[in-house]
């Protein structure tokens, strides 16, 4: 987008200056540069840009100052698009960012290999698109599978557990899924085994399975 007004925030001055020069040569207008989150917020509040390109890890602690500033910008200036440009895949930060809706991007510095594609991505984000680096998408999916206790279940076992949560008996589940009650019993035993719900004297494994299901899906 010719004339797109951009603010850059990165504590690496060489990277920041190089990116500024690259964007300017591509027709974008860099209206401000910041080396830390406070400076970034001051720049944006003084002259809100169309796009803010922000590093996640910035001084003083180099943890999430950039992200915190980006979230503050999104709250105060919802029309300002934001691209997080990071060296790290940080799943929790990505989830928090994506919850922000339109005009959001999360790109990895090491995977920017084509300038024209990079500038095109900035253009799309500035126009309201949400763009996430494929490596980050893979990490998000992997993390979700890793954290999902139901991931060990087959599709049919998930169906059975869902109906268990609705309060159906084995015979009721069988009628709903058009399978025999004996087949349902086999699925239930498999579900309890896969969820590592050992039989004890003071609780009911079926109820505990339903509790795991509800916790994972709410």
* Consecutive 10-residue averages of pLDDT for the chain (218 residues): 86 94 94 96 96 92 88 92 85 63 84 89 90 72 63 87 86 92 92 82 71 73
Compute how many other C-beta atoms are within 10 angstroms of the C-beta atom of residue 63: 13
Q: Which CATH superfamily is domain 5-145 in?
A: Response regulator (3.40.50.2300)
Sheet strands (E) in the chain: 5-9, 29-34, 51-54, 81-86, 104-108, 130-132
What's the pLDDT at 218? 61
According to CATH, where is 1.10.10.10 located in the chain?
149-217
Dist. CA 82–CA 50, nearest whole Å: 9
- Choose among 158, 183, 181: nearest CA to 170: 181
What's the pLDDT at 80? 95
pTM, 2 dp: 0.65
What's the pLDDT at 5? 96
What's the pLDDT at 147? 62
What's the pLDDT at 196? 84
What's the pLDDT at 30? 96
Q: State how beta strands 104-108 and 81-86 pair.
A: parallel
CATH architecture of 149-217: Orthogonal Bundle (1.10)
What's the pLDDT at 146? 60
According to CATH, where is 3.40.50.2300 located in the chain?
5-145
Distances in Å between the Cα of 179 and the Cα atoms of 21, 62, 154, 192, 198 are 66, 56, 16, 19, 26
């Amino acid at each position: 987008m010719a004339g797109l007004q951009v603010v850059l925030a990165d504590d690496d001055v060489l990277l920041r200056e190089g990116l500024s020069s690259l964007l300017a040569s591509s027709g974008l207008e860099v209206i401000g540069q910041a080396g830390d989150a406070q400076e970034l917020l001051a720049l944006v509040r003084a002259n809100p840009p169309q796009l803010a390109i922000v590093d996640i890890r910035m001084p003083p602690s180099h943890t999430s100052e950039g992200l915190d500033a980006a979230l503050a910008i999104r709250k105060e200036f919802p029309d300002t698009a934001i691209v997080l440009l990071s060296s790290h895949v940080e799943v929790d930060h990505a989830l928090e960012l994506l919850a922000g809706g339109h005009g959001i991007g999360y790109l990895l510095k090491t995977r920017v290999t084509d300038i024209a594609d990079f500038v095109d991505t900035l253009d799309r984000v500035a126009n309201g698109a949400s763009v996430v680096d494929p490596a980050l998408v893979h990490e998000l999916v992997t993390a979700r599978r890793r954290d999902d206790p139901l991931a060990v279940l087959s599709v049919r076992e998930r169906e059975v557990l869902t109906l268990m949560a609705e309060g159906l008996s084995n015979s009721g589940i069988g009628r709903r899924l058009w399978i025999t009650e004996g087949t349902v019993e086999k699925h239930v035993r498999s579900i309890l085994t896969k969820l590592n719900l050992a039989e004890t004297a003071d609780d009911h494994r079926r109820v505990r399975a339903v509790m795991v299901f509800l916790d994972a899906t709410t």
